[in-house]
Homo-oligomer: A and B are copies of this chain.
Amino acid sequence: MLKLEHFLPYRLSVASNAVSTRISLSYRKRFGLKIPEWRLIAILAEHESLTPLEIGQAGELDKITVSRAAAALIERGLVTQRRNPSDGRSHFLSLTNDGRALYTEIAPAALAMEAELLAGFSADQREALQALLRRIEAAAQSADVGTAAIADCQQPAGV
């Protein structure tokens, strides 16, 4: 018998929405960033210089989302573009000094929020949660994607 209350996709969605809503509100209010913009910044902070394609792969963002987030950040002077000498269709993105400065402001706030969410969780529990989430993600992606292949499918955003 199915009980919505205990149904994993439901629980996962509710938890994720609660977290997303909270974080999204905070990023927007304090830094004027939307979630994909924040993700893009976080990725560039870790990788120095990447093409939009690589950013998408690193952060599970579809190319449309990356394109729009990048445009907004370039507009604000937080990110710069540089041509890719080996492929004229593409280009490299990296943080400007301002972008890096913003990141060093946000990162601690993000970590603090995470800490708050995980307050009272043991190290074991934290790792278990990560592992479980990854396995579910893998299962959801691998699983029979129905009859028609959706190889080229664009991925949604999120936090």
CA distance A156 to B26 in the complex (A): 16
Q: Is A64 an interface residue (CB 8 A)?
A: no
Whether the Cβ atoms of A25 and B146 lie closer than 8 Å is yes
Chain B, residue nearest A7 (CB): B114
Contacts of A135 in B (CB 8 A): 120-121
Contacts of A134 in B (CB 8 A): 11, 15
Known A15-B136, A18-B140; contact A4-B46, beta-carbon cutoff 8 A = yes
Known A19-B9, A59-B4, A159-B12; contact A129-B130, beta-carbon cutoff 8 A = no
Q: Is A10 an interface residue (CB 8 A)?
A: yes
Q: Is A98 an interface residue (CB 8 A)?
A: no
Out of B4, B15, B20, B113, which one reaches A133, CB within 8 Å?
B15
Residues of chain A whose beta carbon lies under 8 Å from any beta carbon of chain B: 1-4, 6-23, 25-26, 29, 39, 42-43, 45-46, 58-60, 107, 110-111, 113-114, 116-121, 125, 128-130, 132-137, 139-141, 143, 145-146, 150, 155-159
